[in-house]
A and B are shown apart, each in its own frame.
Chain A
């Protein structure tokens, strides 16, 4: 890739950049984004991604509904969000331009595939006139590139020799776009070439066509005069260690495998396909050599039931779903709670209610997990806060489940599930030793040689985990209220009240045994506290960083545990002048905090299916903490 013309270009050093690829769902934008992400990671940048795609597998071509996009923020510094406004938009058709242009920074670069700007496509995108000609683009640096035509020309030989037809050749246009953007940002493409050759190893002609298109894109940038500059974002100064890129769903699957390895329990994963949780199943189904059994049940209820059976059988039992599926599991989760069996229920939240926005993100299932069961049915609820954090959250969920013999709800969301970030790999030996969290009971626990399945551990209030098998421990579990100790069914009013209190006491016991809360306040003098949970961590972190840079003293705490809340949390909240809690729901954690602490927590709520922009949060925190003068 050396050419004399490269030397004539000015290479501009940037600290960070935000690139968004947008096109039709069939244009391969997610794959293009994934490859650019990997190239960027290998270049040593810190990064964060935001894939955004329609629920329809193939929405009508060329329509606004069918637009799929992938945004990548990369930097030579530590970053926490996929970026607010893109610097570069690659629009593969008019609909993509229509949908995404307004997000672009003024003066930003737009690369459009002019071949897709046909009258028909313009019409479908709602343009009466071509935006390329009517002045729409005057505020931007427009690059008109005939991406489809260039691709076909690059693949002329392949078509002539019958290696692929015109349609197949056109499909390589995303690689041409990737090649061009890779050239712009001085990203090496060798890794993507290898990846293509590997992916299409059984169809070498397709691999070759894609590699040819990729190189053609690079060369186009290099040889045409259209692009005056190239850009470079140097490697970030990350904490030393070994890194990889990981998405939330992948990290979740690996965390479950890690919990299995560290507990010595084989993993049982029973689930029913649902967006955006299915990739956890796909990932685990490939990992059977870890002893993991994956079971695709006939429905959400069956998945939950199977997990209860597997927990009774002595496996590390896990299911995952999204909001609608969790609703179906609710009754069985109550059974899991009253039978006090350890298991993890993951909710990869999406826009609700009902079917809602299946491929978009939201944090609106918190109350469902906290309270969405009949009767008083408290279970621990925790949340992951970044893609890589899903790994550690899965282990923490397993720890609580195994230690206290309870179903644990673990919240992720569509943003975490599909986004990627560089992850410094943990030392496996330093992960929690979960085998210390439990022991199977194999001997009678009564003086008379009998077995009382609801006799509790004084420290954890956990009941014995007694699997079928040992003689003398035969006992019956079930959904009817249990008599303390014996576990026999009991309709005694006082016993029911005592059992209910005990179940709350056990939850509180989990809280009492947590490490201290981590409050980030570099000044040590902040009077404004930002409270968050789940995937808002990145934007909140970035917003607080910006506020501090402009002199505001602001503290931040991000909650891993939503039930129980940390026992120190109420005092912490009371010690600040202002507490603000932005959420991608209508104020669920804020309501909980108000109820539990009587602190007048300020809220900021948005449910657009997209994560917060950090600039939005800067304004919110500024206004909440210091009034309107922002």
Chain B
């Protein structure tokens, strides 16, 4: 098995297909980060499968020199679940977007998360429908004016991290397309986590929704707005750490000047089994236009659906022995006609 010992590089995960996202799209940065990360963590291209739905982000598999499946709108988790159940030897990644994953595919997302199937979900959130050319999405802020909502959108946006935590996902993180180091960190965590990992990635659509995440991406703003979650550390942020997150008696969280926080500052612990604290943290930022937590919200161990399903099959074989077809067919009341 000498091939397994050769250290792979980003190039080994890069397909020969021309990348066709718009120039300046945040997807390029995510693609490069993922390709490098897989080489770094020692993943094998032949044991890696990227599965996507429909949308700009869902072209992702074509650019990876791994196995891939560009499925249909919203359904990537369904195909990935069937593959995960049948193939425990594979690393399966889902690439989806805010429309694909939260609108048309919202049902599958919720059920995949609660089942805790062994796969990694990357949700590229650009708060817009890009491929259909600029309609508002389930994450667009209330009142968004786009082609289909000239007088402003009327429906309340979904917070993907809150949704994932509500479904009791076992690994929930958020990062930013252009912050390579931070993104690599949460993706590495996702790769290493057994069960469903959910990573929301703020991704800039420079054509239809440019600057949606400026508060978190741009120099001069991001220093003030990124609340970087570090396990075991008090949650403070700002250039001088001058602001802090505290927990209120009712369980909600609030931002206060650090000097006022004192003992009340929240120390980040993503391993809490109870998702309530992580949920409160996710509610801290109603939209990514101000201070917003990024990093790993939750990372807990829970039985993995496909592992448990395979265990049942093994247990049945243990109990009844390997199935015998003749025995099965003759299993009811049989009679002989001579």
On A, residues with C-beta under 8 Å from B are 38, 41-42, 44, 191, 235, 238-246, 254, 257-258, 261, 266, 268, 270, 287-293, 295, 297-299, 301-315, 317, 331-332, 334-335, 339, 424-426, 428, 467-480, 488-489
Contacts and interface: CB of A to CB of B under 8 A. Distances in A.
Contact of B107 (A298, A476, A488): A298
B151 interface: no
B97 to A, nearest CB: 16
A97 B78 CA distance: 49
B337 A474 contact: no
Interface stretch (B68-76, B125-133, B223-231, B263-271): B68-76
A332 B111 CA distance: 18
Interface string B59-97: 001101111111110010111111111110110000000
B154 interface: no
A242 B330 contact: yes
Nearest to B46: A471
Given A242-B335, A332-B75, A488-B17, A293 B310 contact: yes
B317 A425 contact: no
Given A291-B313, A472-B46, A479-B71, A302 B3 contact: no
Contacts of B338: 240
B310 A289 contact: no
Contact of B72 (A242, A310, A331, A467): A331
Given A243-B335, A332-B75, A312 B69 contact: yes
Contacts of A335: 71-72
A297 B108 CA distance: 9
B1 to A, nearest CB: 11
A315 B86 contact: yes
Contacts of B336: 240-243
B70 A268 contact: no
A244 to B, nearest CB: 5
A242 B334 contact: yes
Given A42-B333, A244-B330, A287-B328, A268 B86 contact: yes
B78 A301 contact: yes
Contact of A313 (B47, B87, B111): B87
Given A293-B85, A309-B81, A476-B62, A428 B325 contact: yes
27 contacts: A38-B333, A235-B337, A257-B328, A261-B323, A266-B86, A268-B82, A268-B86, A270-B82, A289-B321, A290-B322, A298-B107, A302-B107, A302-B111, A305-B81, A309-B69, A309-B84, A309-B85, A314-B87, A317-B82, A331-B72, A425-B329, A425-B334, A426-B329, A428-B329, A468-B90, A471-B46, A478-B69
Interface of B: 3, 15, 17, 44-49, 51, 61-62, 64-72, 75, 77-87, 89-90, 107-108, 110-111, 309-310, 312-313, 315-317, 319-323, 325-326, 328-330, 332-338
Contact of B329 (A254, A290, A313): A254
A426 B78 CA distance: 36
Given A298-B111, A301-B75, A313 B82 contact: yes
Nearest to A235: B337
A93 to B, nearest CB: 31
A586 to B, nearest CB: 31
B82 A244 contact: no
A42 B313 contact: no
A474 B67 contact: yes
A433 B71 CA distance: 32
A469 B108 CA distance: 26
Contacts of A191: 333
Contact of B316 (A240, A246, A268, A289): A289
B89 A477 contact: no
Given A309-B80, A312-B83, A476-B61, 9 more contacts: A240-B336, A244-B335, A261-B325, A293-B309, A309-B82, A310-B85, A473-B46, A474-B65, A476-B70
Contacts of A305: 71, 75, 77-79, 81-82, 108
Contacts of A240: 336-338
B86 A313 contact: yes
Contacts of B107: 298-299, 302
Contact of A308 (B45, B66, B82, B309): B82
B91 to A, nearest CB: 10
Of B85, B89, B326, which is in contact with the most chain A CB atoms at under 10 Å from its CB? B85
Nearest to B312: A288
Contacts of B79: 305-306, 308-309, 312
Among A298, A302, A305, A473, the most chain B Cβ lie within 10 Å of the Cβ of: A305
Contacts of B82: 268, 270, 295, 305-313, 317
Given A312-B79, A314-B87, A489-B62, A477 B313 contact: no
Contacts of A472: 46
Contacts of B46: 468-474
Contacts of A266: 86
A470 B49 CA distance: 12
A468 B47 contact: yes
Contacts of A306: 78-79, 81-82, 85
Nearest to A268: B86
A550 B242 CA distance: 101
Contacts of A307: 82
Contacts of B3: 471
B166 to A, nearest CB: 16
A46 to B, nearest CB: 10
Contact of B332 (A244, A270, A469): A244
A599 B8 CA distance: 65
A469 B326 contact: no
B70 A480 contact: yes
A238 B323 CA distance: 29
Contacts of A291: 313, 317, 322-323
A39 to B, nearest CB: 10
B284 to A, nearest CB: 30
Given A243-B335, A288-B317, A293-B313, A302 B85 contact: no
A426 B49 CA distance: 41
Contacts of A292: 313
A289 B329 contact: no
A426 B317 CA distance: 25
A298 B108 CA distance: 7
Nearest to B78: A305
A474 B329 contact: no
Contact of B334 (A243, A313, A467): A243
Residue with the highest number of chain A CB atoms closer than 10 Å, among B81, B330, B338:
B81
